[in-house]
Amino acid sequence: MGTHGRRQKRDAYRAAQKDERAHELPRKKFYRQRAHANPFSDHNLVYPTRPEDMDWSTYYPAFVAEGQEEPKLTEGMEVHKAEIGDSEQRIEQALAAKPKQMTKDIEVADIGCGFGGLLVALSPALPDTLILGLEIRVQVTDYVQDRIRALRTQSGNNKDFQNISCLRANTMKFLPNFFRKAQLSKIFICFPDPHFKARKHKQRIVSTTLNSEYAYVLKPGGIVYTITDVQDLHEWMVGHFEAHPSFERISEEEQEADPCVPIMREETEEGKKVARHQGQKYVALFRRMEDPPW
Partner 1 sequence: MSVKTGFQKAAICGDILFAANGPNIYAFNASSGAHLSSWKYPHPWLTPKDTAEKVAAQTEGKVAGTKDERADHESATKEDEAEAQEDGPPSKRRKVGAEPGQEVTSKKDESHAPEPDNEQAVSGQQDPKTETAAKGKGSKPKKEKAKGNGKDYGLGFGKQKAVLDIPMFQCMTTTSDGKYLVGVIGSSKTIWTFEHDGHGKLTEISQRPMPKRPCSIVITGDDKTILSADKFGDVYALPVIPGQQPSGDVPTSQEGTPTPSTPGTPQPFKYQANPLTVHTRRNLLALENQKRVAEQQVGFTEKSTPQVDFEHKLVLGHVSMLTDMVLGTHEGKEYIITADRDEHIRVSRGLPQAHVIENYCLGHKEFVSVLHIPKSHPHLLISGGGDDHLYLWNWYKGELLQKIPVGYDAEARSKGSPELPVHPVAVSGISSFHHNERYTVIGVVCENSSTLYKYLLSKDGELKFSRHIDMMFGNALDLVATDGAIYVSLDPNLSTDRHDKLTELTQQGQGRPLDTENDNPNHFFWAALIGSSEAMSPILPDSVMLADDLPQGRYDDLHKALYTTESLRKTGYERKGTSNEEEETEAVDASEGVEGAGDVEG
Enumerate residues 130-149 that contact partner 1 by CB under 8 A: 133, 135-136, 138-139
Residue 86, interface with partner 1 (CB under 8 A)?
A: no
Q: Nearest distance from residue 17's CB to partner 1, in Å?
A: 17
52-71 residues in contact with partner 1 (CB under 8 A) are: none
> Active site residue: 55, 86, 110, 193, which one?
193
Residue 291, interface with partner 1 (CB under 8 A)?
A: yes
Residue 231, interface with partner 1 (CB under 8 A)?
A: yes
Residue 230, interface with partner 1 (CB under 8 A)?
A: yes
Establish whether 270 is an annotated binding residue. yes
150-169 residues in contact with partner 1 (CB under 8 A) are: none
Please say if 193 is a catalytic residue. yes
Residue 266, interface with partner 1 (CB under 8 A)?
A: no
Among the residue ranges 11-19, 60-68, 70-78, 224-232, the one whose residues contact partner 1 (CB under 8 A)? 224-232
d(CA 52, CA 252): 37
- Residue 283: CA atoms inside 13 Å, Cβ hemisphere, count? 22
Q: What is the CA radius of gyration of the chain?
A: 19
Establish whether 266 is an annotated binding residue. no
Q: Nearer to partner 1 by C-beta: 97 or 134?
A: 134
Tell which residue, 54, 65, 132, 63, has the closest CA to residue 101.
Answer: 65
How many chain residues touch partner 1 (CB under 8 A)? Answer: 92
Q: Which long-range contacts (CB under 8 A, 24 or more apart) does 151-154 make?
A: 151/25, 151/120, 153/22, 153/23, 154/23
Binding-site residues for S-adenosyl-L-methionine, please? 112, 135-136, 170-171, 190, 268-270
By annotation, the residues acting in catalysis are 193
